A and B are shown apart, each in its own frame.
Chain A
Amino acid sequence: AQSVAQPEDQVNVAEGNPLTVKCTYSVSGNPYLFWYVQYPNRGLQFLLKYITGDNLVKGSYGFEAEFNKSQTSFHLKKPSALVSDSALYFCAVRDLDSSYKLIFGSGTRLLVRP
């Protein structure tokens, strides 16, 4: 069965420092991977996706993610964190049994301190 894991419940980083939010996946076949962000009292917003092609994917708000097939990882990164980046981040993989369904990770809370 397909799954994604987000090993960190929370990530703390100082403003201006680089940030990484980790995600690993378990998929038989080629994965379609996604990152979503949820701000307080809001729904999820799409950040970026990896389908095929370059392993480094650029997305919204200066975020990027690196697909690493050998490590089965899809970590979210940003070179310089902003306080406004503080939110919940969800990694997701497309369900291969149903192309319309996404399987979400448990979420990681990012806290950027001034």
Chain B
Amino acid sequence: EADIYQTPRYLVIGTGKKITLECSQTMGHDKMYWYQQDPGMELHLIHYSYGVNSTEKGDLSSESTVSRIRTEHFPLTLESARPSHTSQYLCASSDPVRAPNEQFFGPGTRLTVL
């Protein structure tokens, strides 16, 4: 079944640790996105990708980095987690040809940095 997956769903980690949030989609979408969602609900685009080997910074500055080595995979990495990184991270993908303008979201990863 075509879908978009995120792991882990919940992560509690100590300050200074390196973490990678995984995002995979089985829909063959070229475009992928990472959003950070504040506790107060607002969504902020932090990274996006047009396709393999393409990554761009989003509207909100983030200390995280992303990579896009395969179409289906778009992991997000924090080299040294801090409490200010505590948030929910949502991954999304889109296909501008078959479903233009629609984004499909994963379930999210709720990150807590102690």
Residues of A participating in the B interface, judged by any CB pair closer than 8 Å: 32, 34, 36, 41-46, 49, 51, 88, 90, 94, 99-102, 104, 106-107, 109
Contacts and interface: CB of A to CB of B under 8 A. Distances in A.
Interface string B41-71: 1110100101000000000000000000000
B90 A43 contact: yes
B76 to A, nearest CB: 15
Contacts of B4: 43
Nearest to B106: A43
11 contacts: A36-B105, A41-B107, A42-B107, A43-B91, A43-B92, A43-B107, A44-B92, A44-B103, A49-B101, A99-B100, A104-B42
A99 B99 CA distance: 12
SS class, residues of chain A in contact with chain B: strand
A44 B108 CA distance: 9
B105 A44 contact: yes
B94 interface: yes
A55 B31 CA distance: 29
A59 to B, nearest CB: 12
Contact of A102 (B91, B103, B108): B103
Contact of A32 (B41, B101, B107): B101
In the complex, which of the residues B45, B92, B101, B103 has the most CB atoms of chain A within 10 Å of its own CB atom?
B101
Interface string B7-18: 001000000000
A49 B102 contact: yes
A7 to B, nearest CB: 14
B101 A42 contact: no
B107 A46 contact: no
Interface string B26-44: 0000010100000011110
Contacts of B40: 106
